[in-house]
Structure 1
């Protein structure tokens, strides 16, 4: 050290020059050798190629890969630079031989570049091949050898060497020429790619095949002589054919590739996709597309999520249709009309709030709210129906009535808490049609919500009856990410576990497509909570289902919004849903969240908490919030004579002869539709003639609805058809008197229907019974 200091002091100028040269040498090599744009590449969870998007400069150039297959590494070193692991970046002997041969021939006939030098040349594209440039290459090559390992230098070379046409790098070349991963190449295939960067023009299909074959086999012969391969491998390798045409790169998940490219352009991204499942779902969508396209239905999308990890296992953004029908559009994140797919959220919200029990009876009768007139899909009515069955049958009228009872703003608040991104307006903008498709959402958000509900039950059962604060999070498709459900809490995140569990029990009873209608009779059949939806005008068909472990979401329709007859959720989307579930492992049903439930006596007939008048009861577990619901309002205690034929009271019968009996009684309008489908429904017995009646008499219009505008059509003879007025009365045998404005029309008994033929205008229909009770209805007649 002392001698060095003395030398520097004696030779200050030389030392300064040397220091400057060392500094220049140290900084002469850029930190990033290659700045070329690269292709976006996505792989499955097991690193199998799913797809790639060409780089911005039109080259198939995959991102750098540090992992180089052993066969290719051996081939490239033996072919290009046999002393690669021994030289410091350049090989003086090779340079001397090349210089000698080139001087003799008067032109460049041989190169003496090492692999390291070739890496430098590739990074300095466009430079002329002069002796001065050669010197600079040598200088930079030695600097590269000081900075990076031999394996890193080989990685640079294999990632950036030209392989003919617009193919750059080993990874892209192995897929373009052999349709497989570089790690799966044979010795012959590896040797073919090893000789290509030296003369990339040889790869053009149908040209230079003999020259390429000669170069490849010469390299294989060298590997044999050096005992890298044995004679059997050599003999098998030299008979392998050469690639005849470039293969298209795999496009197993093209729409996920689009999604990834938006945020991770030019990178190699490992996703959560299960390759085998993705391919199988692709085939299912393709098969259904072939059938659906015959009805001019061209688009569909499928999303499969793992409930536990929230990972995307399969992502099919569209069918294999053509550009005319927008095959490149990723439907999964596009807003579409929801149809009935939001109904389970309303049911869960009402359970959670304690507004209903699972089988509480809800009205299913003709209904009008202002100008809004919801109708069931089959345009029939049940009078009353258990709430769970209204959900499983997707009845529109009970759903709208439930929403009106629950509160539009209140339900809108729940939907906003689900973070449905396409729900952009306030509650009044959507109105009561919100529950029937008046709003828009997308498959991603809906599947996310169902996965969150399923996970809520799972976590509640797996912990000490606790919830996670970040349950309603977005799914992930990057393998590098993990969901953080954050802290545990005894407070529910949105819905309590019992309300979700009871909702899923109802959805489990949804009628499956015709091909699966006997599913419950098969051993090992999957128990799936699922729901379909169909938007107005048959534009969107939905089906979303969940088990304890998986969520599958399906959308079917036309990307341009064109509606088609038969575009119904249960007929088009549901068959795809169940075909996908058939690929997934069976799951046990959700564990019952007992800590959020209580065993309560329930009236079998009404689904309400049993009152003292309910004769037929059973014990069922309900959500704890359901304890505040009212007892059954439909069972009343009536007093009958000994024959139980007539109602009596103390005014006409001795108390000792009166029989007391519980009776199921519905309001007149509900009873009118209910008894049509329930022949065993018994209306209240009449009072015996010698008794004074004490029961309240009720009646209600069946048709027309309040403030209804009615158009009276004409028949083939040009005559205007009649308008038939209908009313329901609690005592059908009563006489009813009909008035139009102040004009008496007539009377009815038993069957309370009255036909009129009014002229254009506004009218008040009044009906009065023999007891003085009356009902009024305003109508408007149009011509």
Structure 2
């Protein structure tokens, strides 16, 4: 040490020069050797290739992997650099032999470069192969040996070596030439790739096959002689044929690849996709696409989520259509008209708010709100229908009436909590059509919401009846993303568990397509809470279903918005959804969230909480918030004579002979439609003729009903048809007298239909029964 210090004191110039050289040596190697753009590569949750997007410079160059496959590593070392792990970056013996051979031949025939030197040469693109350049490579190679481990250097070589054409790196080469992962290559395949970088412009699959075969087989023979492979492996390896042309890279999830490329361009991304399920669903979509395109329906998207982890298991942004039909458009996150797919959220919101019980009767009669007149899909009416049945049958009129009763702003507030990003306007912009497709949403947000509802129910039952504060979070599709469900508390996030459970119970009863009608009789079938939707004009068909473990969402239609006859959710989207559920593991049904439920006595006929006069009751569970709902309003206590054929009172019958009986009575308009589909519905018995009626009566217009302007139809000969006026009366046996503008036009009894032919303009229709009760309605007749 003393001598060294003494040397620096007496040789300052030399010391400075040495220091400068050391600093120059230290900084001579760039921090980043390779700055070439790389392909965007996505893999499944088990690291299987799903797809790749070529690098910006047009090269198939995958991002560097963590390690080099053992077979290729052995082959490349035996072929290029046997003493790789012994030398300091250059091999003096190889250099001497190469120099001697080149001098004898008068030209550069052999390089004598180590793999470390080749890494340096690959990083210094376009440099001429001169002796001066070789000296530079040696210096930089030794510096690289100080910086990186041998394995890291070998990995750099394997990732950036040229393999012919526009293929760079072992990973891309394995897929382009052998259609599999580099780690799955045979000895012959690994040997083929090991000899390619030696002369990639001269020898590559499809060109100079004989020369390539000889080089491969020489390497295989060397492996055999060095006891790396046995004789049988050698003989089988040399019998393998060479690849003839590059394979196209897998495109198993092309739209997910596009999505990830926008966020992590040029990266290798491990996704949450289950490759087996993705491929099975791709097949299902392709088969259905071939069927639907016969009806000029070209686009399909499917999303499958794991409820527990909120991971994307399958991502199909579009069907395998052509460019003329927007093949590259990812429809999963595109806004589309929702149709009826939001109805379950309204049902759950009303249950959660305590405004409804699952089985409550709701009105299903002709309805008009201003100029808006909703219609059921089959254009018929039930009069009154249980709320859960209205949901399972997707009846439009009850849904709109429920929304009007619940409040548009209240429902909109619930929807905003679901974080539906395409709900951009205020509630009044959508109006009551909000629940029938007046708004837009996308498959991603809708599946997210269904998954969150299922997860809320699962977590409630698994965590001592507690909720998570961030249940309605975004799903994840890459391994580096994590889900944070938030903190546990007794406070619900959006819907309480019981309301969700009863909503799912109703959705479980949705009628399946004809091919799956008897699903409940098969052991292999599973219970699914699902809903379809069809937008106005048959432009969008939806089907979204959920179990405890999975959510499957399907959209079918045309990306350009063209409607097609038959583009209906239950006919086009539902079969695809059910097929996907068939390839998923079977799930058990949701457990009852008993801590959010109450046992109460329910009126069996009306679904309301039973009043003291309900004749048929049952004990059922309801959501806890439902205890504030009103008792049954449809049962009335009436007084009958001994025969129970007539109503009586004290004016005509002794009190001791009067029988008091509970009677189920619907409002006249509801009763008019209800009795047509419920033959056991019994209207109130008439009063006996000798009685003085003291009870009130009611009547309602069936037609016109909430409609002010009427257009009279005409025959083919131009003759105007009569207008048929209809009234429902609680006592149809009474005689009704009809007037138009105070002019008497006739009377009716039992069936209260009146044909009239009013002139154009405004008119007032008056109906009066024989007890003096009257009903008026103002109409405008237009041609």
> What TM-score do you get using the length of structure 1 for normalisation?
0.99
Structure 1, residues 179-216: CA drift from partner, whole Å, max 9, x if none? 00000101110000000011113455542000100111
Match of 1:770 in 2: 770
Match of 1:378 in 2: 378
Cα contact 1:202–1:212 (8 A) shared by 2: no
Q: Is the deviation greater in 515-524 or in 587-596? A: 515-524
Give the superposition deviation at 1:177: 0.3
Mapping 1:111-122, distance limit 5 Å: 111-122=111-122
Match of 2:589 in 1: 589
Cα contact 1:549–1:587 (8 A) shared by 2: yes
Q: Counterparts of 1:725 and 1:3 in 2: how far apart (Å)? A: 122
Q: Counterparts of 2:591 and 2:259 in 1: how far apart (Å)? A: 36
Match of 2:190 in 1: 190
Cα contact 1:706–1:779 (8 A) shared by 2: no
Does 1:309 find its partner at 2:323?
no
Q: Counterparts of 1:313 and 1:206 in 2: how far apart (Å)? A: 38
Match of 1:580 in 2: 580
Structure 1, residues 679-731: CA drift from partner, whole Å, max 9, x if none? 11111011111111122111111111334322223212221111111111111
Mapping 1:114-513, distance limit 5 Å: 114-513=114-513
Match of 1:538 in 2: 538
Q: What is the aligned length?
A: 783
Match of 2:706 in 1: 706
Q: Counterparts of 1:693 and 1:79 in 2: how far apart (Å)? A: 111
Mapping 1:550-561, distance limit 5 Å: 550-561=550-561
Give the superposition deviation at 1:66: 1.9
Give the superposition deviation at 1:480: 2.1
Q: Counterparts of 2:701 and 2:4 in 1: how far apart (Å)? A: 112
Cα contact 1:741–1:764 (8 A) shared by 2: yes
Q: Counterparts of 1:99 and 1:264 in 2: how far apart (Å)? A: 46
Give the superposition deviation at 1:758: 2.3
Q: Counterparts of 2:487 and 2:302 in 1: how far apart (Å)? A: 32
Q: What SS is found at the alignment partner of 1:400?
A: helix
Q: What SS is found at the alignment partner of 2:332?
A: helix
Q: What SS is found at the alignment partner of 1:421?
A: coil
Q: Counterparts of 2:586 and 2:65 in 1: how far apart (Å)? A: 38
Q: Counterparts of 1:685 and 1:385 in 2: how far apart (Å)? A: 23
Does 1:638 find its partner at 2:638?
yes
Give the alignment's Cα RMSD to 1 decimal. Answer: 1.0
Q: Counterparts of 2:333 and 2:576 in 1: how far apart (Å)? A: 19
Q: Which runs of 5+ in 2 are unaligned?
A: none
Q: What SS is found at the alignment partner of 2:363?
A: strand
Q: What SS is found at the alignment partner of 2:212?
A: helix
Match of 1:32 in 2: 32
Q: Counterparts of 1:477 and 1:544 in 2: how far apart (Å)? A: 19
Q: Counterparts of 2:204 and 2:115 in 1: how far apart (Å)? A: 24
Match of 2:737 in 1: 737
Match of 1:525 in 2: 525
Q: What SS is found at the alignment partner of 1:582?
A: helix
Match of 1:753 in 2: 753
Give the superposition deviation at 1:33: 0.8
Q: What SS is found at the alignment partner of 2:744?
A: strand
Cα 1:204–1:81 shift into 2, 3 Å: closer
Q: What SS is found at the alignment partner of 2:583?
A: coil
Q: What SS is found at the alignment partner of 2:237?
A: helix
Structure 1, residues 135-182: CA drift from partner, whole Å, max 9, x if none? 111111000001101110111011001101110000000000000000
Structure 1, residues 520-578: CA drift from partner, whole Å, max 9, x if none? 11124201100000000000000000001111001011111111111100011110111
Does 1:95 find its partner at 2:95?
yes
Give the superposition deviation at 1:2: 2.8
Does 1:609 find its partner at 2:620?
no
Cα contact 1:309–1:482 (8 A) shared by 2: no
Give the superposition deviation at 1:647: 0.5
Q: Is the deviation greater in 77-86 or in 367-376? A: 77-86
Give the superposition deviation at 1:83: 1.2
Q: Counterparts of 1:603 and 1:516 in 2: how far apart (Å)? A: 33
Q: Counterparts of 2:437 and 2:416 in 1: how far apart (Å)? A: 16
Does 1:569 find its partner at 2:585?
no
Q: Which runs of 5+ in 1 are unaligned?
A: none
Q: What SS is found at the alignment partner of 1:777?
A: strand
Match of 2:718 in 1: 718
Match of 1:695 in 2: 695
Q: Counterparts of 2:490 and 2:368 in 1: how far apart (Å)? A: 42
Q: Is the deviation greater in 710-719 or in 166-175? A: 710-719
Q: Counterparts of 1:204 and 1:3 in 2: how far apart (Å)? A: 59
Cα contact 2:163–2:204 (8 A) shared by 1: no
Give the superposition deviation at 1:585: 1.1
Give the superposition deviation at 1:764: 2.1
Structure 1, residues 259-301: CA drift from partner, whole Å, max 9, x if none? 1111011000000111101000000001111111111111111
Q: Counterparts of 1:261 and 1:675 in 2: how far apart (Å)? A: 60
Mapping 1:664-675, distance limit 5 Å: 664-675=664-675
Cα 1:285–1:177 shift into 2, 3 Å: same
Q: Counterparts of 1:242 and 1:324 in 2: how far apart (Å)? A: 38
Q: What SS is found at the alignment partner of 2:555?
A: strand
Give the superposition deviation at 1:365: 0.0
Q: What SS is found at the alignment partner of 2:434?
A: helix
Q: Counterparts of 1:511 and 1:235 in 2: how far apart (Å)? A: 62
Q: What SS is found at the alignment partner of 2:724?
A: strand
Cα contact 1:365–1:381 (8 A) shared by 2: yes
Cα 1:180–1:203 shift into 2, 3 Å: farther
Q: Counterparts of 1:233 and 1:623 in 2: how far apart (Å)? A: 70
Structure 1, residues 451-475: CA drift from partner, whole Å, max 9, x if none? 0000001000001110000100010
Structure 1, residues 711-760: CA drift from partner, whole Å, max 9, x if none? 22321222111111111111111122222223222221111111122232
Cα contact 2:272–2:477 (8 A) shared by 1: yes
Cα contact 1:601–1:617 (8 A) shared by 2: yes
Q: Counterparts of 1:234 and 1:307 in 2: how far apart (Å)? A: 50
Match of 2:548 in 1: 548
Does 1:15 find its partner at 2:15?
yes
Q: Counterparts of 2:37 and 2:466 in 1: how far apart (Å)? A: 49
Q: What SS is found at the alignment partner of 1:620?
A: strand
Cα contact 1:127–1:133 (8 A) shared by 2: yes
Give the superposition deviation at 1:778: 2.1
Cα contact 1:117–1:137 (8 A) shared by 2: yes
Cα contact 2:603–2:610 (8 A) shared by 1: yes
Q: Counterparts of 2:588 and 2:237 in 1: how far apart (Å)? A: 52
Q: Is the deviation greater in 701-710 or in 296-305? A: 701-710
Structure 1, residues 30-82: CA drift from partner, whole Å, max 9, x if none? 11111100000000000000000000110000000121110000111111111
Q: What SS is found at the alignment partner of 2:768?
A: strand
Q: Counterparts of 2:55 and 2:114 in 1: how far apart (Å)? A: 28
Q: Counterparts of 1:578 and 1:210 in 2: how far apart (Å)? A: 53
Q: What SS is found at the alignment partner of 2:766?
A: strand
Q: Counterparts of 1:393 and 1:544 in 2: how far apart (Å)? A: 15
Q: What SS is found at the alignment partner of 2:241?
A: coil
> What TM-score do you get using the length of structure 2 for normalisation?
0.99
Cα contact 2:310–2:476 (8 A) shared by 1: yes
